Amino acid sequence: MRPDLVPRPDVVIVGAGIVGACCAWSCARAGLAVTVVDRGPVSGGTTGAGEGNILVSDKEPGPELDLALASRAAWAALGDEIGGPCELDAKGGLVVAARQETLDHLVDFAAAQGASGVITEIVAADDLPEHEPHISRDLAGGVYYPQDMQVQPMLAAAHLLDAARRQYGARVMTNVEVLGIDRDAEGSVTGVRTSQGVINTRYVVNAAGTWGGEIAALAGVHVPILPRRGFILVTEPLPPLIRHKVYAADYVANVASDSADLETSAVVEGTHSGTVLIGASRERVGFDRTLDWSVVQRLAAQAIEVFPVLAGVSLLRTYGGFRPYCPDHLPVIGSDPRAPGLLHACGHEGAGIGLAAATGDLIAESIVGDPTTIDLAPFSPARFEVAHV
């Protein structure tokens, strides 16, 4: 059925990845009539290329850590709704350091996080095997983060959208491209033009991930989101080998880096299917999807340094995707004063899966006028003053 022949929704959400799915779930649960539109399938973008991280361990004290803690709590609550089918796993994270100097910095970082509500446990080198029996014996030590979690992001997005549809009547339109966002003489949003017709609505949520800047431009506003490419390696299925999400301490620095150049650090974790996921790389190369075998080699070598047992394991496949990178490393969440009725939920970079649950709640709270779970000022699109004409 054509969009202009169905009842007008209260909100149109652009993007059927995990952030869009969480927005749809939260908005529908809040009593709003919801339509989700995506030019591809569910999880066809960044979500389909993600590891499923729900982390507090990699965030320094400040707005993003506050958001991560709120989202971790929201994900835990969602566990009753989607936990089993979506492989939601409170496995905890272990951050390790190869040198004492790095470990000292890691311990200081953990102490600062503790003041914000992050639970940490310093792990001496001799005690690392109690957490991970197959870990290298050449490490200086680490920090254990019991609040870190993992989820299968594609399953989570699909189940959330399905739950929003079944329980609250939400509508999901895949393979439908958004061509424009209409505004009235006062600048307020009035509808969305799509490849299948016009959807009249009062609110539009930009949850288009890496393409969030393009959707914002359709409404005449500027949001500076850029793609940051990354690759993941997937091993053959193995017996239970790795208990937690384990990563090298320099991963934290890579996340916060402004460099466009290639950066890699060991990130290793098991899955329910028995495969082991190995990352992580970051580089800004536009939307170039070309597989770089030198990156694959670097990631494999760094993973083996942390888990020597992986040296004898075969790779099943590799895949890549694009993180929605914002120059100030903060996502864009909330109402856009430059286009009343437009809200953004994008720019989460590599933390979108972990931050999605709280982001959905914040969007719903903003639309219905409830006090927001956390202060949205640091994430406001108002920080981008340049508008398209």
Give the tens place of pLDDT for each residue, 82-94: 766 889 999 999 9
98-111 residue pLDDT tens: 999 999 999 999 99
- CA separation (Å) from 118 to 253, 275, 347, 354? 18, 29, 24, 15
Low-confidence ranges of the chain (pLDDT < 50): 5, 387-389
DSSP per position, 128-171: HHHH-TTS-TT--EEEEETT-EE--HHHHHHHHHHHHHHHH--E
Range(s) within the chain of domains with CATH label 3.50.50.60:
3-50+153-225+329-383
Look at domain 93-146+226-325 and name its CATH class. alpha beta
Range(s) within the chain of domains with CATH label 3.30.9.10:
93-146+226-325
Using the CB atoms, write b or e for 155-193: b if 16+ within 10 Å. Answer: bbbbbbbbbbbeebebbbbeebebeebbbeeeeebebbb
CA distance 113 to 373: 20
Residue 254 identity (one-letter amino acid) = N
Report pLDDT for 262. Answer: 84
Report pLDDT for 280. Answer: 86
CA distance 358 to 379: 13
Report pLDDT for 387. Answer: 43
What homologous superfamily does CATH list for 3-50+153-225+329-383? FAD/NAD(P)-binding domain (3.50.50.60)
Q: Are 277 and 269 in contact (CB under 8 A)?
A: yes
CA distance 355 to 70: 8
CA distance 202 to 217: 18
| Sign of the C-alpha dihedral computed for residues 84, 347, 47 and 240 taken in this order | negative
Element of type H or E holding 300: helix 293-306
The 3-state DSSP class for residue 305 equals: helix
pTM: 0.94
126-135 residue pLDDT tens: 999 999 999 9
